[in-house]
Each structure stands twice: as structure tokens, then as C-alpha cells.
Amino acid sequence: MSAPIFSAEDIRQYYYCKRIIFHRYVLRVRVRETYKMKKGREKHNIHYIGNNYDQNSRILKNVYLFSESLGLVGMIDILVVNGDSAEIIELKMGDIGNSRMRDSHKAQLAAQAMLVEEVMGLRVHRISVMDIDTGESREVRLVNYHREMVTSALEEMRWIVLKEIFPDPPENRGKCVDCEYKSICGDL
């Protein structure tokens, strides 16, 4: 079996619960679209991102990137390119104001930044998260730790899939309440 290709979103899911990777890539389970999934899909229809950008900037939406060397694909919601640098804008639902973004979400954004740098040869100088309902935006700071999270996750995810290892459940079993795979885990 060849090495699987994972998505940047898989990185976030891996840190939520490693079993999601098993269900998606080993068992190939497909689930019904949940309310959150539907809202996430609809978020890509946003058109307004403000006018704080230089007229020389190119604003690209729904940018799909693939890197065989990273073993990673990803969809960048909005990419603002200016010369040899870029800003990633991730669209999110809900209040982004004062809540602290989890490292799992930052790892997903780090994976996106790695894709932009690898595939497009651009330096990612800024990553922002925008609330799709209010248009409010805030900058997200990434550090090398978040890139290391991506590399580590990809390595273990490949191991899970290639060896067909069913991971232990998450320590916080409260996560299972909203999980679309809860009905098939067997030990919940």
C-alpha cells in the first residue's frame, strides 16, 4: 500500500481524536453531513473580506494545494498574495474574539502555511481567522511547535493507516458526544 495523502483538516481531526483517521482511511467510513459540516461547507460562499489590501494584492479563494513530498493536501479559504509573500485567511463560524484557539486548529493552519510555502514558493507572513457571520478578524500566531505538530501527526497518521491500528479513545470522552463517528466506535 502506498503512503496515504492527508488533508490539513485531518491534522486538526487527528488531535481531536486519532480514531477519526482510522475510520476515514482504514475503514473508509462515510458519515452523514452534520449541521456543523453543512455550515462549514457553506462558509466558502463568503464574498466580503474587507478592503485593507494593496491594489497589487491578488485575492484567491478556495485555493486547493497538493504536495506529494509532504503527503498533504489542503484548501485555503482565502489567500492574499502580494509579491513573494502571502496571508492566509481561514473562515470560521462562531465567536473568534477572546477565545483562545486550540493548538489543533493552529496545527491545521500550520499545515496550510507549509503547503503554501512548499507548493507556491511564497512566504506566509500572516494568518488570520475571520468570523463568517460578523466579518471580525484576528491574527493567529504560529510557532515552530505547530509545524512540528504537523510533522508528528503525519508520521503517526501514516502508521495508523498502513498498520491498521485502532487507536485508544481520547482521554476526554466528552469529545465523543458530538462526534460523527460515535455510533461505530464500539466501546462508547
CATH number of residue 27's parent domain: 3.90.320.10
- For position 133, what pLDDT does the model report? 79
pLDDT grade, residue 52 (50/70/90)? low
Residue 1 lies in a domain: no
Query: Residue 73 sits in which domain range?
Result: 6-45+54-184
Q: What is the pLDDT of residues 106-165, one digit of tens each?
A: 999 999 999 999 999 999 999 999 888 788 888 999 999 999 999 999 999 999 999 999
Amino acid at 182: K
Distance separating alpha carbons of residues 42 and 49, to the nearest angstrom: 16
What is the number of domains present in the chain? 1
